[in-house]
Amino acid sequence: MEERDLERQFKNINPKPSAKWQENALKHLNNVVTDSLDNRNSNTNLNNFFYSITMNTKFKAILTIATVFTTFAIASGVVYASDSAMPGEMLFPVDKAMEQIRRTITVNPLDRAGYEMDVMDERVLELKKMSEGEDSLGLSKAISEVEAQQSRVRAMLGEMTQLRAGDMNQAQEQLEVMNKLAAKIQNNEEVLGEVQNRLELKSGEATQAGELQRVRDSFSEDMESEIKNFEESTGLKVEAKETEQNQGEEPQNQNQAEIKAGDENGEGEPAQDVQGVQEMNKGDNGNR
């Protein structure tokens, strides 16, 4: 048998699913879509449920408040300490757990997108700190954490695209988030670039420098494409700027406080790092 005959016979193979399956599968997919949309609202329903229970009687209200205060008093110390924990440290999972809770209670997709961008800042700053030390394993973990957070930002942008497809009125509200995204990308790119330079200069960190390069390139490319898609689909122009409200907000945690301190120095860098970075840049210029 010749190849041509084989090709012809392959084209004749045409198994088909049953019509009944096609009908049932379509129904099933419809249910899957409905469930996924319901789940998005379930957090709000859960909040309403607890609200109705606790507001039923004064006793339940007092008990709830007392429990919350007691728990808060115990947990706040741990939570506060965990906020500055680095990847690989014991309290880092607590920090991540607190972020997960915040995600769960942040129902509005735009608020959530803003929050994911703030967490991205935190991950980038953690990576920067790790790059200053000698913990190679922790450094790899910090790079992975940055990449994982970038995926969350990507997912939120996907959700925003979907919302926009259903309601173009969303575009104007989303513009604010996109502006914030563009500003954050610029800031983070600068910090990540400095981290990469530092890793390239350090002996034994070439692998991590390569890995970071890959993570940066992939994210930059995706974000450029997201911003371009947004501009093309809405006709709005994205500009790298944070909202006035966000600029006036207190930093969310110690790491963000550090960014703010750096910004006040006009460098976008923490004050104590300015000299080190300048030295590093000098060395870097000589190497390129």
Taking the complex as a whole, the smallest distance from the CB of residue 10 to another protein amounts, in Å, to 4
State yes or no: residue 29 binds another protein (CB under 8 A).
yes
252 burial type by CB count under 10 A (0-12 exposed, 13-18 middle, 19+ buried): middle
Rounded CA gap, 59 and 21, in Å? Answer: 55
State yes or no: residue 225 binds another protein (CB under 8 A).
yes
State yes or no: residue 13 binds another protein (CB under 8 A).
yes
Nearest to 195 by CA among 182, 209, 214: 209
- Of the pair 147, 284, the CB lying nearest another protein is at 147
Cα 251 to its chain centre, rounded Å, is: 17
Rounded CA gap, 160 and 148, in Å? Answer: 19
Rounded CA gap, 35 and 49, in Å? Answer: 19
Q: How far is CA 287 from CA 85, 199, 283, in A?
A: 33, 13, 6
Taking the complex as a whole, the smallest distance from the CB of residue 114 to another protein amounts, in Å, to 17
Binding another protein (rule: CB under 8 A), the pick from 102, 103, 154, 260 is 154
Please identify which residue in the block is written with the tokens 């926009």. 164
Interface segment toward another protein; rule CB under 8 A; list 23-31, 115-123, 251-259, 261-269: 23-31
| Cβ pair 145, 126 in contact under 8 A | yes
Taking the complex as a whole, the smallest distance from the CB of residue 39 to another protein amounts, in Å, to 11
DSSP H helical ranges for the chain: 3-12, 19-54, 58-83, 92-105, 109-132, 136-166, 170-201, 206-234, 244-248, 254-264, 274-287
State yes or no: residue 22 binds another protein (CB under 8 A).
yes
Taking the complex as a whole, the smallest distance from the CB of residue 222 to another protein amounts, in Å, to 7
- Of the pair 125, 181, the CB lying nearest another protein is at 181
Stretch 31-70: interaction string toward another protein, x if CB under 8 A: -xx--x----------------------------------
State yes or no: residue 159 binds another protein (CB under 8 A).
yes
Q: What is the rounded (10 degree) CA torsion for 25, 27, 28, 32?
A: 130
State yes or no: residue 267 binds another protein (CB under 8 A).
no
Residues touching another protein, count (CB under 8 A): 36
Enter the tokens of residue 151: 């995926």
State yes or no: residue 232 binds another protein (CB under 8 A).
no
Binding site for another protein (CB under 8 A): 1-3, 6-7, 9-18, 21-22, 25-26, 28-30, 32-33, 36, 154-155, 158-159, 161-162, 165-166, 222, 225, 229
